[in-house]
Amino acid sequence: MQAADRRPLRPFDFPPISWAWLLVSAMVIVLDWQTKQLASYYLQLYRPEEVFSWLNITLAHNYGAAFSFLADAGGWQRWFFVSLASVISVVLLVWLVRLPRREWATALGLALILGGAIGNVIDRVRLGYVVDFIDVHFGGWHYPAFNVADSAITCGVILLLVDAIVLSRRREGGSA
C-alpha cells in the first residue's frame, strides 16, 4: 500500500476516477428510465410481444422485490424497499468514491449496482411499483420479467464476485 492510499480522505477528496464511475451509474439510470418509458407507452399490461422464440417483451408492474417477493404485502413494502435501496445506495456511493484507482472491476460493479438500484427506486417513488418488461422463457418455463436496472444489478454482482474470487488474487500477487 502506498503512502497516498493510507492518508484519511476528507469529504470531497475523492480519487478523480470515482466521478467517471458515477457517470456509468447515471447512464444506467437514464437507459433504464428510457426503456421503461418506451415499454409503458407501446405495450399493453401483461400482453406479451414475441421478439424471439425464447424472448418476449411484456409490460409488467412489480409491487414487490426480486421475483415479486412481498408483492401482495398490502402496500407497506413500497416504502420499505425505497428506504432499504436508498440506504444501500448511500453505502455503495461511499464505497465507490473511496476505492483506489486500481480496483476498476469493483468500481464498475458498484457503479452498475448503484445505477440499477436508483433506477428501481425512481419507479417505486413515482409509481408505487417497478416497471418490468423483459420476459425470457424456455419451453414452458418463464423467468420473472425484469428490466435494465435489474440487468445492471445482476451484472454488477457478477463482476464483484469475479473480482473477489479472481482479480483480487492477481492484485495481491497470488495465483488465480
Q: How many residues are listed for the chain in this entry?
A: 176
Question: Catalytic: 150?
Answer: yes
Question: Catalytic: 132?
Answer: yes
Q: Give the H/E segment covering residue 103.
A: none
Out of 123, 135, 150, 163, pick the active-site residue.
150
Task: Give the residues across from 137 on adjacent strands.
Answer: 142
Out of 32, 123, 132, 163, pick the active-site residue.
132
Nearest to 115 by CA among 39, 14, 24: 24
Question: pTM score > 0.95 for this model?
Answer: no
Going residue by residue through the chain (176 aa), what tens digit of pLDDT does each one get? 455 555 565 555 555 667 789 999 999 999 999 999 999 999 999 999 999 999 999 999 988 666 555 555 555 666 787 888 899 999 999 999 888 878 889 999 999 999 999 999 999 999 989 999 999 999 889 889 999 999 999 999 999 999 998 876 766 665 54
Contact 5, 100 (CB under 8 A): yes
- State residue 134's pLDDT score: 97
